[in-house]
Amino acid sequence: MARRAMRAGADAINWRNHLPTGTPMLFNVAQLLRQEVGASRRYELEAEEPVHAGHVELIRMPDGVLVRCEADVLLEAQCSRCLAAFAYPAHISFEEVYVQQVDLVHGHRMPEPDDPESFRIGMDNTIDIREAVRQYSETVADMRPLCRPDCPGLCPTCGTDLSIAHCQCERGPIDPRWAALIGLKRMTNG
Ligand SMILES: [Zn+2]
Ligand SMILES: [Zn+2]
């Protein structure tokens, strides 16, 4: 599949190699947690997969920190017709309260949040937005991604990738369910 992947998503996949190391989606909020409700910080987001640009605003709340995030993301996908790997841009926007676990002013544990699923500020006073970014990226992901709008897909008879080559088979409209099965067979056979 690797060679096929390069065809459709070369630019997007190479982009990954230029990402800086480190964790640009991790924020230390120890100072913010010592400030009054309403205090805020704003940060530009550096590139870290899947984000390539964006910003966050962190706002002190009574029980934690409200994270407002706007980000341009690059989502990796597999074409639902030809099964090629590719990436496409999307935008995510969310507001989530990260619940405080430690009262920094008085030095004791905070009560457990009502919602066990809620995002939490780490015990080291950091907010890690990667999981939220992942979840919101999933919600904006295309259910039937196409590497390009007119992707001809695979021949349902012989499995030829019709955007690369022609085959001699007769065929009607391509049924994506067949395309998926043929793709599986190809991966198995090599
Ligand atoms: Zn395709
Ligand atoms: Zn064919």
Q: Is the dihedral of CA 31, 32, 33, 35 positive or negative?
A: positive
Cα 140 to ligand 1 centroid, rounded to whole Å: 19
Whether residue 35 lies inside any domain: the answer is yes
Kindly state whether residues 156 and 87 are assigned to the same domain.
Answer: no
How far, in Å, is the centroid of ligand 2 from the Cα of 143? 26
What's the predicted TM-score (pTM) here? 0.71
How far does residue 151's CA lie from ligand 1's centre (Å)? 5
Is residue 82 located within the same domain as residue 162?
no
Q: Which pLDDT score, from 0 to 100, does residue 112 have? A: 81
Task: Let me know if 88 is exposed, middle or buried by CB neighbors in 10 A (0-12, 13-18, 19+).
Answer: middle
**CA-based R_g, the chain, Å:** 22
Counting as low any pLDDT under 50, the low residues of the chain are: 1-21, 190
Q: Could you tell me the distance, in angstroms and rounded to a whole number, from the CA of residue 81 to the centre of ligand 1?
A: 5
Domain tally for the chain?
2
Together in a domain, 111 and 33: yes
Residues lining ion ligand 1 (Cβ < 5 A) are: 79, 81-82, 147, 151
Quick one: 34 and 123 in the same domain?
yes
The whole-number pLDDT of residue 105 equals 79
Residues 76 and 121 reside in one and the same domain: yes
Domain span including residue 93: 2-140
In this structure, what token pair is assigned to residue 103? 């009262």
Domain shared by 29 and 79, yes or no: yes
pLDDT by residue (tens digit) across 13-30?
333 333 333 578 999 999
180: CA distance to ligand 1 center in Å? 12
Is residue 29 located within the same domain as residue 118?
yes
Is 83 in contact with 53 (CB distance < 8 Å)? Answer: no
